[in-house]
Chain A
Amino acid sequence: MNALSIAGLRKTYGNVAAVDGIDLEIPKGCVFGLLGPNGAGKSTTFKCVLGLIRASAGRVLFAGAPLEPGAFERIAYVPERSVLYDWMSVREHIAYMQSNFRGFDPERARELLAQLGVGDERKKVRALSKGMRTATAVALAFARRIDLLLLDEPTSGLDPVNQRTVLNLIINEAAQGTTVVFSSHQIGQVERAAERIAVMQRGRIVLEGVVDDLKAGRKIVEGILPSDDFSINGLASDARIARIERNGRILRAYVTEQPEGIADRMNALGAQGLRVVDLSLEDIFLDAVAPKAATASIVEGV
């Protein structure tokens, strides 16, 4: 049974769909990275999933069951904007968490706060920098005993050392079987910590998969054709190719799976000097949200 199961989730404001029909299955123990440009609907998705804003349509299940108040004991959520109280000290927040969550470990919280450089717990939240607020919110969340962690940009505003600490906290939780869903603009972090990702754009999911499988399948296969007007009939209809760019004798195929097979096929068609170019997650992400449209002149003859 999946830790989190989302089906047909929608949230509309007037006639604008902030979340436009999302389906996601997140297995237990998975670290799931949610990527997407600003305004893609990531934060709205988090809030709808947790019932903090009412979804217009859709169904969300936590370990197979709809959300009920008791479930919050085993779920932690760190929103994009800190929900700490300005007028309260860090120590008061620790006491507050302790009285609200049975699984909260104040010693662990202090340990994490120290690790993240929030030294003086008598300080009011008001006096903390943005990064230190994020660090405090993250430390309080990780000090709870939970099954599911939802983190909306948990590393934003953190210095590189603390970013790495938070990534290792995520990895440590995952190694203990906690399911973690986190959003981030830092693709390098998602690339490290996440096993699976989804890329959102304009309220929809435009790409989803296991990071390593996406990297294994998505490559550019480049080859040189014998002449400018050489015909490679049928290649464009190969389901493994997302799109083809052609510039004179240079043929470039954006492959989604089995790049070696495409290279062999292009070779059999007469292309030479075949190169399979690896794509980083950043390349794959950018291609998913803004594929460079191949112009008519380039695809002509394909």
Chain B
Amino acid sequence: MAKEFELNEVEVWDGNYAASQALRQAQIDVVAAYPITPSTPIVEGYGAYVANGYVDGEFVMVESEHAAMSGCVGAAAAGGRVATATSSQGFALMSEVLYQASGMRLPIVLTVVNRALASPLNVRGDHSDMYMGRDSGWIQIDAFDAQEAYDLPLCAFRIGENHAVRLPVMVHQDGFTTSHKAQNVYPLKDAIAYKFVGDFVPVDEMLDFTRPVTHGAQTEEDWHYEHKAKQHKALMDSPAVIDEVFADFKELTGREYKRVESYMMEDAEVALVLLGSSVHTAVLAAKQLREEEGIKVGVVAPRCFRPFPYDLIRDALDKPSLKAVCCMDKSSPGGAMGALFNEVSAAAYSTNARPMMTNYIYGLGGRDFSVDEAKRIMKEQKAHADAGHITTNIQQFSGLRGPKLGFYEIRRS
């Protein structure tokens, strides 16, 4: 029987430690892991809990991230609660197996500490790895700070393991900005956290020898399409469960999460849409700009990156007052508009407000995103709103040294 971990009402934890504590409290059966900066302290901390008797489950040290996720797939198919952590190159190496996990409908929890992808080699936070997971069939939930990096894995087990969902779940946090920044965190007592997560109830577990089943079968043109459509439907239907789990979590802790977080949008004339720790900085900037210059700025942040909250993004942006929206992508777009811009623009196109949409690339490789820069971008959106058309290139780069870089201009007035 695992020992109880003594916790204070308020702890000063960074995002990594917060996530490792959440994993410990979920009493996972198998963690198969391979370390990589900046997520290493999650599995390092978890290994220490196992060694010191705070966890009853197995900790499997493997030879690569591909093996880590393969181990997770095997253990999950066998019928256990399973989780691991990774970042960046490790995430990339896992990617083949990520699709196996979701296609086999195994509710693995993966805590991803977002980090840039090489080359050039870079250990700091951007969203390249998170974006790489967007078509992998996993639910992706984004934590903006260390408290959320503790809360959301607890929710993730409940969501993924729900028999109406049966999908793997990633919980993201920003490398260094969140993972290595200590702040006040209010943890739950072990028993209360575990009760919230609940006992693991397997489906078609391989270790049930009275009822043999096959996992990971081959299907060609006869059934593959139906499987993938069913998997997609499971993702599209999962918001009902996600919303229910978030509601239960609010009842337990008072901390409220929504699939789309929306700040000061009721009367907003301009808005930023962005992900991760920058959301907090943008909200601070918006509040200051409202006070200092009376510009009505709002902020919209998809908490749930997958399934993409098309419905709630529309709700957030369909405001008669809203004239200009800037979507900010913290991932190198590789010859396209930013992915968040494309997805949010598509949702906004089917609203009555149909605001002007622009795109900023920012923060690559951990480039700092400041309150002042957020305000500058907000004021630029206000200039679009006042002019009645987009006054800059549609895609621009924030905080980039060297010549100004921008692409495409507006074609409608």
Report if A and B associate in a common complex.
Answer: no
B contact residues vs A (CB 8 Å cutoff):
none
